[in-house]
Chain A
Amino acid sequence: MIDAMDKAAGLSPDDALFSARRFRPEFVQGAEECLLSVLLPANDHGLAASLRVALARRMAALNADQALMVEYNAQLADLDPTEQLLALAQGATDLDEPLATIARHVDLITLTPNKAEASDITRLAQAGLNNPQIVALSELIAFVNFQTRVATGLRLMRSA
Chain B
Amino acid sequence: MISSVRLKPLTWHPHIAPVELSEATTEQLDAMKVTPSAKKVSEYVRTLVHDPESYVARTVLFNAIMYVEGGLARPDRELGALGASIVNGCKFCAVVHARRHAELTNSDDLVTALYLDKPEALGPRDAAIYSLARRLSAAPSQATADDIASLRSVGMDDIEIIDLIHAISIFGWANRLMHVLGHAESG
Contacts and interface: CB of A to CB of B under 8 A. Distances in A.
Interface of A: 16-17, 20-21, 23-24, 26-27, 30-31, 33-34, 36-38, 41-43, 45, 63-65, 109, 111, 113-116, 118, 120-122, 125, 131-132, 134-136, 138-143, 145-154, 156-157, 159-160
Given A113-B90, A154-B165, 17 more contacts: A20-B158, A23-B162, A26-B60, A26-B64, A30-B60, A30-B61, A45-B51, A109-B176, A116-B89, A120-B180, A132-B51, A135-B50, A142-B177, A149-B137, A149-B165, A152-B143, A156-B144
B181 A63 contact: no
A112 B107 CA distance: 32
Contacts of B68: 24, 26
A143 to B, nearest CB: 6
A73 B173 CA distance: 23
Interface residues of B, number: 57
Nearest to A31: B61
A39 to B, nearest CB: 10
Contact of B166 (A27, A109, A134, A143): A27
Interface string B9-29: 000000111000000000000
B71 interface: yes
Contacts of B165: 149-150, 153-154, 157
Give the dominant DSSP class at B's interface. Answer: helix
A140 B68 CA distance: 24
Contacts of A145: 172-173, 176
Contact of A136 (B51, B132, B183): B51
A124 B163 CA distance: 35
A150 B125 CA distance: 21
Contacts of A122: 15
